[in-house]
Amino acid sequence: MKKDPLLKLYDKTPPKALAVLAIGAILREDEGEHDKILSAVPKATYQIYHQEFINHSFSLMGIVQLWSLSYWRTKAHQLIRSGCIMANPDMPSEKMTGYYLDAQKFTSTLRVLEAALDAFTDETGQDAAMVREWAGSPKPDPAEPLSDAEQAEMQAMLTSWRKLL
């Protein structure tokens, strides 16, 4: 079998052209030629941060983003329900009671989110105030302790966040 005269030029061939030649060798099922082409492909070296650092950073930031989105979604629902009550003082009492209970539920969820953030940042060494500042959320009012149901909800939230780490 006659050798390709371009073999000597592989070392000076640009990477894109080598890719074309390598695919041609694969299509011809010429493993030896493919290996020669691969040996001529310039090797790139990279410096990256340690993989554990990258993974953990992305996980922590993901949880911060999750908290922020959950906070503002819940806050929006709370404000909508409260606004409905204030904008419609003449609405039927059953409907007003429903809106009031919804607003209370969202207020409870906000308390759970705040407590979960505090517990999570204590666990991971992050600063809850910085997370709140990044999220644009106000400093929480000092609150009474969580009820048992809120405490259980907070623990479930923390458990799901820990799985992301």
Q: Which two tokens stand for residue 147?
A: 């009820």
Q: What is the pTM of this model?
A: 0.68
What mean pLDDT do residues 56-80 have? 93
Task: Output the pLDDT for position 104.
Answer: 92
What mean pLDDT do residues 79-106 have? 90
Whole-angstrom distance, CA of residue 119 vs CA of residue 69: 18
Where are the chain's structural domains?
5-40, 51-164
Quick one: CA torsion of 54, 55, 60, 65, rounded to 10 degrees? 90
Whole-angstrom distance, CA of residue 73 vs CA of residue 106: 10
Task: Output the pLDDT for position 5.
Answer: 62
Q: Which two tokens stand for residue 132?
A: 């709140």
Task: Output the pLDDT for position 128.
Answer: 92
pLDDT digits (tens, 9 = 90+) for 15-62: 998 999 899 999 999 999 899 899 889 898 888 999 999 999 999 999
